[in-house]
Amino acid sequence: MSLLFETIKCQNRQLHNLYYHNIRVRWSLENLFGITGDFDFQNSIEIPDWVGEGLYRCRVSYAEEISKVEFFEYNFKHPKIIQLDEYQSFKYDFKYEDRSQFQHLLKLYPKADDVIITQNGLLTDATYANLAFFDGTKWFTPNTYLLLGTKRQYLLDNQLLTEVEITVKDLIKFKRISFINAMRDLDLSYEFEVNNTIISIK
């Protein structure tokens, strides 16, 4: 079995959203390995001295126990072309390190910066993030997601995001798109337009 991993935002030497990361790890450990307990990243991660102020990505690899903790400087990448791909059999319930399915999709569309997976015409996730769409008043996220994202759940619990069914045809109703994950929030969003199976970021 492939290792699992968590990406945790580290800003100004502070780890963010640990409550939700802990929940996902506990759920993964129980469902994959039958391990129960009060796992807590706060007691498991030591921030190295060389990590300074600013934004870093902390990557934790684990199975029954943590095998590696790494820190990387983080810079935002801004997509321009997003490909929609209908892939009904795609599953990613657990955050495995084996991301070969995503890599295969990206290789199919070399001109695209990312791929959004659809299933029966319903939006799920992009290859590296959950999705959120703004209609001018409220933010919405597909209820047909692939991975239960930590930032997504935080936004839902704080009523900053509403979960609904979103079809490909619904895309024309929205004004902005956001790719949300541990490192990216709703404040990073883009105007876009749709042409068949291509989303172009303005």
* Both tokens assigned to 177: 């798109």
93 and 157 part of one domain: yes
Pair 123, 37 in one domain: no
Note down the domain range covering 104: 81-201
pLDDT at 63 (0 to 100): 95
Q: Provide the whole-model pTM.
A: 0.95
CATH number at residue 50: 3.30.470.10
Could you report the per-residue pLDDT of 1-56, keeping only the tens digit for each?
A: 579 999 999 999 999 999 999 999 999 999 999 999 888 998 899 999 999 999 99
Backbone angles phi, psi at 152, to 5 degrees: -55, -45
The domain boundary, picked from 50, 73, 96, lies at 73
Q: Output the CA angle 146-148-149, nearest 5 degrees.
A: 110
Question: Is 61 found in the same domain as 120?
Answer: no
Residue at a domain's end among 73, 98, 129: 73
Confidence of residue 183 (pLDDT cuts 50, 70, 90): very high
Domain end marker among 73, 106, 124: 73
Q: Are residues 121 and 156 in the same domain?
A: yes
Which CATH number belongs to the domain containing residue 124 in this structure?
3.20.10.10
65 and 9 in a common domain: yes
Q: Are 85 and 114 contained in the same domain?
A: yes
**Residues in contact with 151: Cβ distance below 8 Å, sequence separation at least 6, in sequence order:** 17, 20, 130, 180, 181, 182, 184, 185
- According to the model, what pLDDT value does residue 37 have? 85
**Structure-block tokens of residue 189:** 């969003």
Q: Do 8 and 85 lie in a common domain?
A: no
Span 60-85, average pLDDT: 96
What is the number of domains present in the chain?
Answer: 2
Residue 127: band (very low, low, confident or very high) from pLDDT cuts 50, 70, 90: very high
Residues 176 and 93 in one domain: yes
Residues 111 and 173 in one domain: yes
Q: What was the pLDDT predicted at 2?
A: 74
